[in-house]
Amino acid sequence: MNLPIREHESVRVKIGVFGGTFDPIHNVHLFIAESARLLEGLDRVLFVPTGNPHYRNAARTSAEHRCAMISAAIAENPYFALDESDLDVEASGFTADLLLRLHAKYSNAALTFIIGADSIVSTSWRRFDEVLASLEQFVIAPRAGIETDALQRILAAVPGHLRERVHTLNLPELPESATLIRTLLAQGRSVRYLVPDSVWRYIETHALYTSDSNAPTGERDFVE
Ligand code: ATP
């Protein structure tokens, strides 16, 4: 049972915001969220699925399925919660706007944004200064294949007074991805133990990601 986050709490809480497509949520997402919580001393981590990703591939499954899988995956961790703010029909899908909504919803919270290094390097951010200015911390999980130099070049462009809010989490690079999960499933292979058991069962029950139509164009067969 997740601990309730009372909106407008009187005590200042430290909330981690972990946005993504979560198509589907996998074990490394959970590992990053839990590690960020412990390393940054966060009271809660919100999983915030996006409905309109400007920076990344569109989702292959409905928001309902993705939310159901997130709920199943986080059910055992009382510090985790699902927040559907970015699925609202009025949500722009831009992080700067999402953070405004979250600040209004959790008015006395200090927000820390959690993100994988690939999401910094492979996307062109709009209003990045505004994003950083509204956060207590912006923490980056290292990701296999992302050069430190590429990350440093982007961070070097951050104005000095905001730079101290950004840092990389001391975590190993773990190669799992939702792309890998979808690719294996499209090939009729099992993803058990790459995702929580509850998510694996949900995927099986609903026959998700089984057809080619689930796989993004250009995804190749997984080759051992
Ligand atoms: P896809 O393969 O479809 O791009 P993904 O596995 O990257 O999906 P997302 O839902 O897009 O999953 O990711 C949510 C957040 O988690 C993003 O910030 C992403 O960079 C990060 N993330 C996902 N997997 C990893 C990983 N293995 N290492 C570091 N960060 C990761």
Of 224 and 188, the structure prediction assigns the larger pLDDT to: 188
What pLDDT sits at residue 188? 96
Q: Is the pTM of this model over 0.75?
A: yes
pLDDT digits (tens, 9 = 90+) for 101-150: 999 999 989 999 999 999 988 877 778 889 999 999 999 999 988 888 88
- Cβ burial 184-217 (10 Å sphere, 16+ → b, else e): bbbeeeebeebbbebbbebbeeeebbbeeebbee
Nearest CA to ligand 1 atom 16: 116
CA-based torsion, 129, 135, 141, 143: positive or negative: negative
- Considering the domain boundaries, does residue 201 fall inside one? yes
* CATH code of 38's domain: 3.40.50.620
Give residue for tokens 């159901």.
68
Separation CA 164–CA 128 (nearest Å) = 14
- Considering the domain boundaries, does residue 219 fall inside one? no
Domains contained in the chain, number: 1
- Considering the domain boundaries, does residue 124 fall inside one? yes
- Considering the domain boundaries, does residue 216 fall inside one? no
Q: Which residues contact 89 (CB under 8 A, 6 or more apart)?
A: none
- Considering the domain boundaries, does residue 147 fall inside one? yes
Report the SS3 class of residue 75.
Answer: coil
- Considering the domain boundaries, does residue 90 fall inside one? yes
Closest atom of ligand 1 to CA, residue 181: 2
**Range of the structural domain that residue 105 is part of:** 13-206
- Considering the domain boundaries, does residue 58 fall inside one? yes
What pLDDT sits at residue 1? 47
pLDDT digits (tens, 9 = 90+) for 28-83: 999 999 999 999 999 999 999 998 756 556 799 999 999 999 999 999 999 999 99
- Considering the domain boundaries, does residue 115 fall inside one? yes
Q: Rounded to a whole number, what is the distance in angstroms from the first to the last CA of the chain?
A: 39
Separation CA 185–CA 82 (nearest Å) = 25
pLDDT digits (tens, 9 = 90+) for 149-202: 888 888 888 888 899 999 999 999 999 999 999 999 999 999 999 999 999 999
178 lines ligand 1 (CB under 6 A): yes
Q: Which two tokens stand for residue 115?
A: 């993100």
Pocket perturbation via mutation, ligand 1, pick of 17, 27, 28 by most ligand atoms within 8 A of CB: 28
Q: Which two tokens stand for residue 27?
A: 């074990």
Centre of ligand 1 to C-alpha 141, Å, is 9
Separation CA 204–CA 192 (nearest Å) = 10
29 lines ligand 1 (CB under 6 A): yes
